[in-house]
Amino acid sequence: MTSDLDLESSEGSSFAAQTVSRRSPHLIEELLVERIIILDAKWLARILVVTRRVRFWGATAMRMFCRGVLCYLALASARSEDFQGASHMLEYEGEPLKYHDQTPTNPVARLQQRLGAGEMNLEFDERFGYLPALLDELKIPRSSQTLAFSKTSLQRRFISPDNPRAIFFNDDVYVAFIPGAPALEVSTADPKLGGVFYRLDNQRFNRPRFTRDQDCLSCHGAQRTLGVPGHFVRSIGTDPTGELDGQSEVKDIDQCTPIADRWAGWFVTGNHGAQTHRGNLIGAEAFARAAREPNHLGNLYWRR
**What pLDDT, in 10s, does the model give residues 224-247?**
777 778 898 999 999 999 999 999
What is the average pLDDT value for the chain, to the nearest integer?
79
Is residue 134 predicted with pLDDT exceeding 90? yes
Residue 229's pLDDT is what? 86
Is residue 74 predicted with pLDDT exceeding 80? no
Residue 128's pLDDT is what? 97
User: How far lies 286's CA from each of 242, 275, 283, 296, 299, in Å?
Assistant: 13, 17, 6, 9, 16
Angle ∠(62,67,71) on CA atoms, nearest 5: 145
Residue 75's pLDDT is what? 52
Cα gap 291→288, rounded to integer Å: 5
Is residue 155 predicted with pLDDT exceeding 60? yes
With contact defined as beta carbons under 8 Å apart, do 229 and 219 qualify? no
CB count, 10 Å around CB of 222? 18
Q: If pLDDT is split at 50, 70 and 90, which confidence band does 147 have?
A: very high
Instruction: Find which of 59-73, 93-107, 161-175 is predicted with most confidence, using mean pLDDT.
Output: 161-175
